[in-house]
Amino acid sequence: MFEKRAILIVLLLVSVVSRDFAQESSSLEKTDPPQEKMNANGIYLELGGNAGIYSINYERIVLESPVHLSGRLGLGLMNEQWIIDAEDKKGMELLVPFGVNAWYTLAGAHHLELGLGATFYSHKVYALETTASNIMVQPLPPRLIRKNELWTNFSLGYRMQKEGGKFYYRIFFNGHLSRRVLADNPNAHSQYSVLTLDPWGGFSIGYGF
C-alpha cells in the first residue's frame, strides 16, 4: 500500500514539474525580441550642404527619445585650382561645419530633420595693407592675406535611417546667414553691413557604427 502511494506521489510531482517546464518554455517562445537602437556614431559624406561643396563629417547621437538629437563636426578642403585655371595661387581653403541635427520619426526609417549650426571658413583674399613704411607709396599693390569667417546656417530635410541599420541617407534644403560689408559707392569711405541669406541644398550618405 505504501509503495502504491509513493508511486502516485512521484507521478504527481513529475506531472507538476513537466507542466511548469512546458509553461516556462512557451512563455520564452512568446517573448518579443529586444528592439534595436540607432547606432550611436556615424560618418557621412555631405555633398553641397553646410561646407558649400563637400565635407566629411562625424556624428554622434546624444538623445534618442522622443526626438533624436545628434551633434556633428566636419571638414572640407578646397582649392580653386581644382575648378578653374587661376593665375593666382591662393592655396587651400578650409571649411569646418559643426552643429546639431534634431530628427523626428514619421514612420519606421523615415524622419523629418532640422539642423542648426555654423561653418568656420578660412581662405585668402586680396587686400591693401597700409603701414608706416608704405603710407607714402601710391598706388599700393594688393597682397594676399588669410581671412577667417563664420557662417551661421540651418537645414530642413528628410532622413532615412533604420534602427540598427548601417547605411543612412539625408537630403535637405539649407541656407547660410552671413553679414556682408558694403559701401555707398566705390569711392566712399562710409561702409555699412547687411545680413544676407544664401539658399543652398545638400545630400548625404553615411555609415553608422
pLDDT tens-digit profile, the chain (209 residues) = 544 554 555 455 446 445 544 554 554 454 455 557 889 999 999 999 999 999 999 999 999 878 999 999 999 999 877 776 666 777 889 999 999 999 999 999 999 999 999 999 999 888 777 676 766 776 777 778 889 999 999 999 999 999 889 999 999 999 988 777 665 555 555 566 778 889 999 999 999 99
Domain ranges of the chain: 39-208
CA 171 remoteness from chain centre? 12
What is the fold, at CATH topology level, of the domain defined by 39-208? Answer: Porin (2.40.160)
Tell me the pLDDT tens digit for each residue of 4-58.
Answer: 554 555 455 446 445 544 554 554 454 455 557 889 999 999 999 999 999 999 9
pLDDT at 194: 77
User: What pLDDT is recorded for position 17?
Assistant: 41
